[in-house]
Amino acid sequence: MSEIRIDKFLADRTKYSRNEIKTMLKKGAVRMNNEILSDPKQKINPDVQEITLNGKKIHGGLEIYLLVNKPENYICATEDRQHKTVLELVPEALRHKDLFPAGRLDIDSTGLVLLTTDGALAHNMLSPKHHVPKYYLVTLSRKFQESYVQSLADGMTLADGTVCLPVQTKPLTEKICLVCLHEGKYHQIKRMFAALGNHVEHLHRVAVGSLLLPPDLPSGDCLEIFNKDILQMLKADSFPEMCEQIVYAFSSYLINDGH
């Protein structure tokens, strides 16, 4: 990142307005490499200088990538009048005004959501041409039937005539299966299993491309990842390879019946 005014940098990266930052600068709350800054016009380079606000380091990379373990009752939007949004899960030091969720999970679904400032990446991840595969552990209310594998692989037609692309599926326990989607239609997994005569009780997204949700990341926690992780994520592994990794990483989720 090239040089940027300290007041603009901090206003972009925190919840404070530029005026509030000016007041904080006057009070000595801002430091660059441990030296107090007071001039809002001071240019800084956050790639090489450590900036702190009230003692907390403020992230300086060009684009931000955060992996969130979304809990239930949060929605994937930047603002909402009724519900809490996934952006509220971001700790102050990682906040940025341009962060948005790249892709959606339903309010009652849990697991991996990527938040980023990188519009080009989000476009690439979600566009039908490049669509990056997404992996879900799906808990059904009734037993998984072997016949589902072929029906989903053939590409299902939903009740309203929506045609779905082929979906890869593997049963992991009696009622939990792994589903890999290559597109993101509205309530797609719930509607596909409804069309098969079953019902989805819970959906937990465990991977996007080859990027696995760290199984020990507590629900509601956020983890910063970097450009190199994103490049790795886009090189998606095959379904059998991902299956193996997911079963290994989420073995206790499977043993505890999706809890």
CB 180 within 8 A of CB 122: no
CB 154 within 8 A of CB 148: no
Nearer to ligand URA, 117 or 168 (CB): 168
CB of 190 to ligand URA, least distance (A): 4
Residues near ligand URA (CB under 6 A), total: 8
Q: Of the listed pieces 147-155, 160-168, 181-189, 210-218, which binds ligand URA according to CB under 6 A?
A: 181-189
Nearer to ligand URA, 53 or 113 (CB): 113
203 binds ligand URA (CB under 6 A): yes
Cβ neighbours around 22 below 10 Å, total: 18
- CA-CA distance, 109 to 103, in Å (whole number)? 13
Minimal CA–CA distance to 56: which of 16, 88, 18, 102?
A: 16
Residue 40's alpha-carbon distances to 21, 48, 50, 92, 141, in angstroms, are 8, 19, 16, 20, 58
Q: Of the listed pieces 77-85, 156-164, 186-194, 208-216, which binds ligand URA according to CB under 6 A?
A: 186-194
Nearer to ligand URA, 203 or 208 (CB): 203
Q: Radius of gyration over alpha carbons of the chain, in Å?
A: 21
Strands (DSSP E) found in 98-221: 100-101, 110-116, 134-140, 168-171, 176-181, 200-208, 211-212
- CA-CA distance, 246 to 236, in Å (whole number)? 14
Binder of ligand URA out of 66, 105, 137, 180 (CB under 6 A) = 105
CB of 22 to ligand URA, least distance (A): 42
**φ, ψ for residue 42, nearest 5 deg:** -55, 125
Q: What's CA 42's distance to the chain center, in Å?
A: 34
Active site members: 106
68 binds ligand URA (CB under 6 A): no
70 binds ligand URA (CB under 6 A): no
Binder of ligand URA out of 58, 99, 113, 189 (CB under 6 A) = 189
187 binds ligand URA (CB under 6 A): yes
Binder of ligand URA out of 12, 106, 201, 237 (CB under 6 A) = 106
CB of 242 to ligand URA, least distance (A): 16
CB 102 within 8 A of CB 125: yes
67 binds ligand URA (CB under 6 A): no
Q: Of the listed pieces 9-17, 32-40, 105-113, 140-148, which binds ligand URA according to CB under 6 A?
A: 105-113
201 binds ligand URA (CB under 6 A): no
Binding residues for ligand URA (CB under 6 A) = 105-106, 109, 187-190, 203
